[in-house]
Amino acid sequence: MGLPNREETYTETLSGPTTLPAPPPPPTLMPINPTERNWRTRRGFGMIPGHTIDRARDVLHTTKQSAGRLYREARRRAADGYSRLSQRTGEVSRQTRDVARYAQRKYPVRVLGIIAASAFVVGVGIRVWRSRQS
């Protein structure tokens, strides 16, 4: 038996000495030196394969198209919503005006009474508010 060298180690078993290979050294990461870092920074997209750049352009183009389509759809929906709201508001104001005219023609004394009572309540409210302010 001799001394074990770097490539092999000896172990004793019941049947006798056995030779085993030495385990590989653990991998180590070497830091990038400043010169190599500058070189990698300067080379930019020159070392990237053409198909990768083409794929990136396709993705960018598709993304722009999708964003534009979504913007146009949102704008159209907002315009449609505004149009419907405007129509509905016009309908409600027209109905309110028609009901007020009907009440004016059918029950003129009641309408005058409602207007007078509303004016009285508003006057009392303003008087109370002014008394609290001073």
Q: Count the neighbouring beta carbons within 10 Å of the beta carbon of residue 77.
A: 10
Q: Which of 21, 24, 1 is nearest to 12 (CA)?
A: 1
Residue 97 lies in a domain: yes
What confidence tens digit (pLDDT) does each residue in 72-90 have?
999 999 999 999 999 999 9
Q: What is the pTM of this model?
A: 0.42
Residue 118 lies in a domain: no
What confidence tens digit (pLDDT) does each residue in 108-130 have?
999 999 999 999 999 999 999 99
DSSP 21: E
Q: Which of 13, 20, 17 is nearest to 1 (CA)?
A: 17
CA distance 24 to 132: 91
Residue 108 lies in a domain: yes
Residue 70 lies in a domain: yes
CA atoms within 13 A on the CB side of 105: 5
What confidence tens digit (pLDDT) does each residue in 36-86 have?
666 666 665 555 666 777 788 888 889 999 999 999 999 999 999 999 999
Q: Are 67 and 74 in contact (CB under 8 A)?
A: no
The residue range of the domain holding 92 is 51-113
Count: domains in the chain = 1
More confident residue, 42 or 102: 102
Residue 105 lies in a domain: yes
Q: Are 51 and 36 in contact (CB under 8 A)?
A: no
Residue 89 lies in a domain: yes
